């Protein structure tokens, strides 16, 4: 059964769902990219970085899951009815394209998925760099500094 955790924290960890299980080495390269501290203040390299917590959903039940499958699990209530909110500002998928692109020396990517059904613009999933964009995106969405659509055409993808 496909189940994802709900969230009620004001500032949750990054939610990463693995949906491709063909290459454990590629998965490790994705995790290594996310494990690097995010430098949010280039002027203060010593104090201007942070390492965010990542909640990894690494369960083969999610193999080949689509963004719609993930969203359905996030918005399902305990009684099976759909709800509007799951508490996550963004969900990242390590999908087939992520794993195929996570070769040695190649910067891995993730698929960013908007879990907010009420946001009208920019709700389609899109691919981002796994090195710093997930941290920046998650941070800005969690504190409501930016909207999902602000990242859809951003030059730092």
- Report the Cα 134 to chain-centroid distance in Å: 6
Question: At 124, which helix (H) or strand (E)?
Answer: none
pTM of the model: 0.84
| Three-state DSSP state, 91 | strand
Contact 67, 154 (CB under 8 A): no
pLDDT digits (tens, 9 = 90+) for 105-139: 678 899 999 987 666 665 789 998 887 788 888 88
pLDDT digits (tens, 9 = 90+) for 19-68: 999 999 989 989 988 887 766 656 666 665 667 788 999 999 999 999 99
């Amino acid at each position: 059964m496909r189940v994802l955790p709900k969230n009620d924290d004001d500032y949750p960890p990054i939610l990463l769902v693995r949906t491709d299980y063909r290459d454990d080495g590629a998965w490790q390269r994705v995790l290594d990219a996310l494990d690097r501290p995010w430098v949010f203040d280039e002027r203060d390299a010593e104090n201007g970085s942070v390492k965010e917590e990542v909640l990894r959903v690494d369960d083969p039940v999610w193999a080949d899951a689509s963004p719609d499958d993930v969203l359905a699990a996030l918005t399902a209530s305990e009684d099976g009815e759909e709800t509007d909110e799951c508490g996550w500002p963004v969900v990242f998928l390590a999908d087939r394209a992520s794993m195929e692109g996570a070769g040695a020396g190649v910067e891995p990517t993730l698929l960013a998925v908007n879990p907010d059904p009420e946001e009208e613009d920019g709700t389609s999933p899109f691919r981002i760099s796994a090195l710093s964009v997930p941290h920046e995106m998650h941070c800005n969405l969690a504190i409501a500094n930016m909207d999902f659509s602000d990242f859809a055409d951003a030059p730092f993808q």
